[in-house]
Amino acid sequence: MNQHDKLLTIILVSYHSDNVIKKILQQIPKKYRILITDNALSKKLKKDIENKFINTQVLIPNKNLGNGGGINFALTQIKTKYALYLDLDIKIEKGCIDKLIRIGNKKVGWGIIAPNLRDYIYKKKYYLNSSFCKETSNMNFVEGCALMFNIIEMKKIGFYDEKIFLYFEENDLFFRCIKNKKKILLCNNIYIHHLGNASTDSKHKIEIELNRNWHYMWSKFYYYMKNYSYLRGIKETILQFIRSNIKLCFCYFTDYKKFLIYKNRASGLYNSYLKKKSWRRPNIK
């Protein structure tokens, strides 16, 4: 086992991403081990990827675990000091991963480290310290497309809540970090590019959009209910619930695609209000 095998494992989560995933694998230095949780349960993808990328292993769970659950599944397989989760729709700048490791080795008391994003400006409310020019900033929120975990520290508070299938899983994790005094650090001068909503092959675009709308609303209410109160969850979502119901009635006659979107948004919230499980899954075969 060399020093890289001891320091870092990279985690990816795939779902019908056969054409997308190879692009990011080509960006990652071969010295790092890569674990992919494939939520599409594709043995064909596993064989194809493992034959082409010798540093990569594709894990096949028993069912679609969602994003946070997929990360958790891979985390059970690693023995390194750090784990770096990457969305599939990012572009990694040269030396980014090595720089993140150097920061991690220098800093203490941190649970999560994130690179900065090109063409993106964080709102001031996300900073816990007032300095914007230091090597790192102490945050209460960072974008979840690239997160490096301090395994020992994060095991003390747990990783992702697997009741959340999609959306707000990072918010919930960050909430626990702050509550348990585990620092979330943003590396101000280390960058990646995030393309956004491009992790699944484009032929599944419509069904993925419907699924995202359902889970965004289910997870938003669940997050506030879990970490604050049921009433806070209602307060944060009730206007969206009303608007979605009004718009789905109107769009039924004018735009059927939008009707389906608002129907899924309303359904996600309705199920969450009733404390039902996050049951919707993409209808892709």
Q: What is the mean pLDDT of residues 207-230?
A: 96
Q: Indicate whether 1 pLDDT > 60.
A: no
pLDDT tens per residue, range 123-153 = 999 999 765 558 999 999 999 999 999 999 9
pLDDT of residue 5: 66
Q: Beta strands 183-194 and 110-117: pairing type?
A: parallel
89 vs 200 pLDDT, higher one: 89
Report CA-CA distances (Å) from 187 to 26, 101, 115, 132, 137: 24, 11, 5, 11, 7
pLDDT of residue 254: 93
Instruction: Please check whether residue 115 is in contact with residue 146, taking contact to mean a CB–CB distance below 8 angstroms.
Output: yes
DSSP 9: E
pLDDT tens per residue, range 45-62 = 999 999 999 999 999 999
Q: What number does CATH give the domain 3-194?
A: 3.90.550.10
pLDDT tens per residue, range 93-134 = 999 999 999 999 999 999 999 999 998 999 999 999 765 558
Mean pLDDT, the chain, whole residue set: 92
pLDDT tens per residue, range 246-283 = 999 999 999 999 999 999 999 999 999 999 999 999 88
**Domain limits of the chain?**
3-194, 202-273
pLDDT tens per residue, range 67-85 = 999 999 999 999 999 999 9
β-pair partners for 26? none
Q: How far apart are CA 83 and CA 134, in angstroms?
A: 24
Q: Indicate whether 17 pLDDT > 90.
A: no
Instruction: Please check whether residue 217 is in contact with residue 242, taking contact to mean a CB–CB distance below 8 angstroms.
Output: no
3-state secondary structure of 55: coil
Calculate what percentage of the chain has a pLDDT beyond 70: 94
